[in-house]
Amino acid sequence: MRPKRPAGPGGSSRSASSRRRGAAGRTYSAKARRAGQESAERGTRSRFVVGRIALAVVLVATGAKLVHVQGFQAAALSARAEQQRTTTIDIPAQRGSIVDRNGAKLAFSVETRTLWANLRLMRKNRAEAEKENPDSAESFDTRVAEIATFIARQVPDKTTEAELLEEFHDEDSSFTYLVDDVKPSVADRIVEKYPEIGFEKRARREYPAGEIGSNIVGFANWRMEEPDQSKHNIEGLAGLESARNAVLTGEPGRQVVNTEQGTDVVIPGTEREVQPAMPGSDLELTVDSDVQYNLQQMLSDYVAKARADGGSAVVLDSKTGEIYGLTSEKTLDPDDVDPDLMTEKAVTQPFEPGSVNKLVTAAGAIEDGVTEPGDVHRVPGSIKIADHTVRDAWDHGTQPFTTTGIFAKSSNVGTLMLAQELGPDRYMDLLKKFGLGSRTGAGLPGESPGYVPPRNQWSGTTFGNLPIGQGLSMTVLQMASMYQVIANDGVRVEPRVVAATRTPDGGRVAEPEPDRTRVVSAQTAGSVRNMLRATTQDGDVYESGTAPQAAIEGYQISGKTGTGQQIDPQTGAYSNELYNITFAGILPADDPRFVVGIRLDAPDTTLPAGSSAAPLFKQVSSYLAQRYEIPLSDEQAPVVPLIRRQ
C-alpha cells in the first residue's frame, strides 16, 4: 500500500493552481496524441498508395511480357521444348533374302523384338507413387519382380527371372536391354500388360541351308552404332551379305519418340512412326544349292582321303560363266563363325598351278599355226633354259611325241619347245587374254588377281617356268575360267555368282551382261578340246594319258592334270614334298555344258587320292550329268597316238 502524501493548507492534497496546470497539461497531451495519430495514418496511407502503384507497375510489366511471349514467341518456344523432349530414331528395314537359281532360300530375315526398360523413369515413378500413397503403392522391387516373373514365363528359352532381376537392379544403369529375339506377338503381350517396358523392332537372320553355300553367302549380324543407340541395323559382315549389303539393306524408316529431358532414354509408349521403312531387295544367285551341297561333301571327303591340308573346287557353266558351285574343304558355320573362314579360298588363295597352265601354250601354238594336233616332235628328256635345266616327270630319251601327246602326257620339255616357237611376247599376251593376273569380276569379296610377273621383269629362266605352271599364280576360279574359254569356242565370259536382284515390288532386275573376250578362234578352241580328250585315254605307254581315272563312260571328257611345286616355308625354295595337285576338265567335250576345276593343297602324293584329282573330277562330273540329264555323247572319243611307235 502506497503511503499518503501530507495535506497542504485548506486540508486539500493539491492547490488550485496546481489543478489548473494539470488540466491544461492533459488538454495539450490529448491534442498531441491526436496529431501523432493523424500523422501516422497519413504515412500509412502514403505507403499503401506507393505499394499499390508499384504492384500495378509489376502486373502491367508481367502482363506485357506474357502477351509478348504468347503472341510473338509461342511457336519458337514450343518448338524448342519439343526438341528437348523428342528424338528421331531409325526403324530397321526388312533385309532382302538370298536365294539360289531355283528360288531356294539360303538367307532370309525373321522379324523379332528386343525388350528394354527405362530404369531411371521406373525408379522415379515408383518413388513418386510411394510418396503420394505410402500405404498402398507398389514398391519398385515388388513391381520389377512381378515383371521379371511374367517375362521369364513368356520367353523361357531366352532368359530367366534371375537374369532379369539382375538387370532391373543394376544401380549404375538408367537404361537396359532385357531380352533379344522375342516374337512380335509375345512382345506386344508383355508391353500391353506392363507399359513401362518398351521394345525395338529387329530381325533375326536365318540360314536354312546351314553351311551349304555359306562361304559364298557369308553372314550378317546386328551392329549398334555407338554412341547413338537409336541407330542400328543388320549389317553384312562376310561374303555376299557384305559385298551386296547396300542392296539387301533397304531404306530404314523414321520414328519419333519422347525422351527424358537431357538424355536419350526413351519414354515407353511414346513411339510415333513418321516414315515407313523400305524393304531391301532379294539376291538371286547363279548357284544351285544341290550342286553346292554335293560339291562340298565330295571335296571334303576327298581332301580327307588324300590327307591334304585343304582343297577348293568350282563348277562353271561353259557358255555363260555362271558359277553353279564353289567351295573349299571347310565352310563357314553362320551360327558359330570362325574368322578364318569368312572368305572363300577358291577366290582368295592363289597358288602355282603346274601343268594345267599348259593350256595357254596349246591354244597359242594351234592358233598361231606353230603346230597341228597330229604333228610329231622329237622331244628329249630335258631342255636347258638359260642356266636352268627342265626335265619331264619321267626319264626318257628323245621320243616322237605328237602335239596331242605333249599335252595329254604332260611333257614339260615338249611344252617349252612349243612355247619358244610361240615367243614370250605372244605368250604374255595370251596370259592376259585368258584372264590371268586380273580378278575375274565374279563379285565375291576378297578376290585375288593372282600373279603374273611383268614382262619387263622376266629373267632368262622366267620363260622356262611360266609355260609349265611355275612362277605365276592363280585361283581355282581363274583356272576354271581358262578352260571355260576352250569350252566356249574361244570366248572368255566373265564368271559371276549373282544373276539378278528382285525388288520389293516383285520386279526382277538382271545383272549387267558379263564382259566377253575373244581369246582364240572357235576352230582353235575345238582343236584344243579334241587334243585334251586324250588326257583321259587308257592304254599302253604310247596311248595312255595322265588321267584315265577322269573318264566317264558314255561321255567325251577333255581335261588336264597339274602338279605344281609349293614353296617350302622353311627354306623359301621349291619343295620336293609339298605340291598343288590340280585338275580342270570339260563335260562333255563334244557339246560342253560344264567346266570343273579342282585344287588339292599339299596332299600325300604317295596315296592314289593324293597323286591325282582326276577321280574327284569324275565323281563331280558324274553327279552333274545325272542331275541335269546331260545327253550321252554321240560317239566315243577316238583313241589317238600320243607317242609314235618306232
Tens of pLDDT, residue by residue over 101-111, are 999 999 999 98
Task: Tell me the C-alpha distance between 625 and 637, whole Å.
Answer: 17
Domains of the chain: 89-285 (3.90.1310.10), 289-332+349-497+508-627 (3.40.710.10)
Mean pLDDT of the 244-255 span: 88
Q: Which of 34, 29, 566, 617 is nearest to 309 (CA)?
A: 566
CB 7 within 8 A of CB 13: yes
In the numeric block, the cell 538371286 is attached to 284
Is 18 or 47 the better-scoring residue by pLDDT? 47
Tens of pLDDT, residue by residue over 213-235, are 999 999 998 664 443 444 457 88
Tens of pLDDT, residue by residue over 539-596, are 898 999 999 999 999 999 999 999 999 999 889 999 999 999 999 999 999 999 999 9
In the numeric block, the cell 513401362 is attached to 196
Mean pLDDT of the 406-411 span: 98
For residue 69, give Cα distances in angstroms to 58, 74, 75, 80: 16, 6, 9, 14
Percent of the chain at pLDDT > 70 equals: 83
pLDDT averaged over every residue in the chain: 87
Tens of pLDDT, residue by residue over 139-148, are 899 999 999 9
Cell for 229? 543407340
Mean pLDDT of the 131-143 span: 83
Q: Are strands 574-587 and 558-567 parallel, antiparallel or unpaired?
A: antiparallel
Instruction: Provide the pLDDT for residue 16.
Output: 36
Q: Which of 545, 561, 559 is nearest to 639 (CA)?
A: 545
Residue 40 scores a pLDDT above 60: no
Which residues carry out catalysis? 355
Residue 502 scores a pLDDT above 60: yes
